[in-house]
Amino acid sequence: MGLRQKPMLRQSRDRIATPDGDLAVRYFSGPGAFQLAAAAWLALYERASCRNPFQHPDWQRIWWESAGKGTNPEFFLIEYRDAPIGFAPLMRRRQGLFKVKYDDLFMLTAFEDPASERAVSGGLDFLWLPEFAHLLPYFTRFLCEKTSGWCYLRLNPVPEGSPTIAAFLESAGALGWPVRTPWVLKNAVLNIEGDWDGYFAERSSKFRKNLRRCERQLAESGPVEFREYRQPGEMAVGLAEMSIIEKDSWKESRGFSIDDHSLNSFYQQIAHFFGERHGIRLWVLKAAQRPIAYDLHIEVGGCIKTLKGSYVAEFADFSPGTLLTLKACQQFFKEGIRQVDFLWGSLHYKEKWTNALETHCGIYLRRRGPGPLLVAGLHELNRRLSRRRKAAARAASVPETPAGEAPNPAPEPQNTELDPDRKVDLSS
């Protein structure tokens, strides 16, 4: 806490003693940190054979340049015997509560709510070479003890079983600091084995029947075309059609559009950048030559991540998004893709296609000291006041009823993040 200073480029180098020898921790902070750390970051990403595009330095750089206003990058490069073995891309974000300002540390690109419809990264972690995992707790303790000025460490969504989680539990336990590691996301994943015909035959007969019905009824409105854009030269056309769909989509009024100003065209920049490297796969469904649905995927190392999708609201009864998933998965099977990760939650419509769940956790740690203790007390006060406000609002909204009669139950809240396209009953 204290006065907010204008971010500036800062560097430092510290040493951590371990039984195997000293670790060197290089620290880069401020707007120039990306340029200083880029080469070592990318080398670690490639050496770790990472299939997670959200940990790619360019993914995180594009987000910070597009939507990272109000955050300050803080990068830690860990070296052993002068060779990089780990990289922790964090950011410091200024928070406020009851006019008290304080700083928290997050994973770069992460949101406090990992399931937020504004989230762009479906899985984050420190980059760490597996053969040096036993040295990770020395760095996490360094991060807790030697870095200053922050109240909370909020890291998510980290894959369950990551050595990062175990390292923070060990470090926080040794220091006596409060730490929690609850699960925050369970992503629906399709691990591909066998051929398409065998896989699709395992879906329920009702599901398959309704898919055929939706496609047949959609075709009555005009010719149906499924188009995939993959080459850099055609990406501009695909992105233009994607924007057309968004303008007429349900998200324009009730959700989070891919063109939302808060992201400053992040996905368009991602599509152009990774499209040049043949990683972006944009599927578009057209009916009577009109673009009505899209799914944006990224492929890394034989693994597909489904980033975003939407559809024109007036076509909801035809389940265009589900039909698009059908055609895309057929192609993925044909190409020998090993996994399709639908990301951001195990929603019912996703589980119709998948055969596994991948749990992601949060690492929530509060440091010791009077400042963090004050902030923790203010958070507890805010939670109590919030509960009282909600209780008062509920009491005010319940109508009086004659004696002996039960009031009508309040309607269940609707999650606007759920794609209404999937409201069509395609279940078994």
Instruction: Go through the domains of the chain in sequence order and give each one's CATH number.
Output: 10-183+360-369 (3.40.630), 193-337 (3.40.630.30)
Per-residue pLDDT, averaged over 110-116, amounts to 88
- Spatial distance between the Cα atoms of 279 and 389, rounded to a whole number of angstroms: 48
C-alpha torsion angle, residues 51, 54, 59, 60 (rounded to 10): -140
Q: What is the pTM of this model?
A: 0.85
pLDDT tens, position by position, 304-354: 999 989 999 999 999 999 999 999 999 999 999 999 999 988 788 888 899
Average pLDDT over residues 225-249: 90
Q: Is the peptide bond before 157 cis (omega within 30 degrees of 0)?
A: yes
Specify which residues 73 forms β-bridges with. 91
Regarding predicted confidence, which is higher, 1 or 333? 333
C-alpha pair distances (Å), 305 with each of 154, 183, 187, 210: 24, 20, 11, 26
Q: Is the confidence at residue 417, as pLDDT, over 50?
A: no
Angle at which helix 320-335 crosses helix 205-219, to 10 degrees, equals 110
Which pLDDT score, from 0 to 100, does residue 421 have? 38
Supply the pLDDT for residue 7.
57
- Residue 418 predicted with pLDDT over 70: no
Residue 116 has pLDDT above 50, yes or no: yes
136 pLDDT tier (thresholds 50, 70, 90): very high
- Reading the block at residue 55, the tokens are 């940990």
pLDDT, averaged across the chain: 86
The C-alpha atoms of residue 14 and residue 142 are separated, in whole angstroms, by 10
Token pair of 250, please?
Answer: 């349900």
**5 vs 285, which has greater pLDDT?**
285
Which stretches within 276-408 are classed as H helix?
Answer: 320-335, 348-351, 370-397
Alpha-carbon dihedral sign for residues 157, 162, 163, 169:
positive
Q: What is the pLDDT of residue 422?
A: 38
Query: Coil, strand or helix: which one is 157?
Result: strand
Please state the rounded mean pLDDT for residues 267-280: 82
Token output for 282: 């944009």
Return d(Cα 368, Cα 92) in angstroms, integer. 18
Q: How confident is the model at residue 425 (pLDDT cuts 50, 70, 90)?
A: very low
Integer Cα distance of 17 and 142 in angstroms: 10
Question: Cα–Cα distance between 374 and 382 in angstroms, integer?
Answer: 12
Ramachandran class of 427: left when φ > 0, alpha when ψ lies in -120 to 50, beta otherwise: beta
Q: Yes or no: say if 316 and 255 are a contact pair by the CB < 8 Å rule.
A: no
DSSP code at position 188: E
Residue 5 pLDDT greater than 50, yes or no: no
Which residue matches tokens 């303008």?
Answer: 247
Per-residue pLDDT band for 415 (boundaries 50, 70, 90) equals very low
DSSP track, 99-150: TEEEEEEEETT--SSTT-TT---S----EE-GGGGGGHHHHHHHHHHH--SE
User: How high is the pLDDT of residue 1?
Assistant: 42
| Cα 16–Cα 144–Cα 114 angle in degrees, nearest 5 | 125
| pLDDT tens per residue, range 372-399 | 889 888 888 988 999 999 888 888 876 5
Q: Which residues, 6+ apart, have CB-to-CB distance to 334 below 8 Å? A: 196
- Alpha carbon distances (Å) from 95 to 2, 212, 397: 12, 51, 33
Residue-level pLDDT at 255: 53
Query: In the prediction, which pLDDT does 235 show?
Result: 86
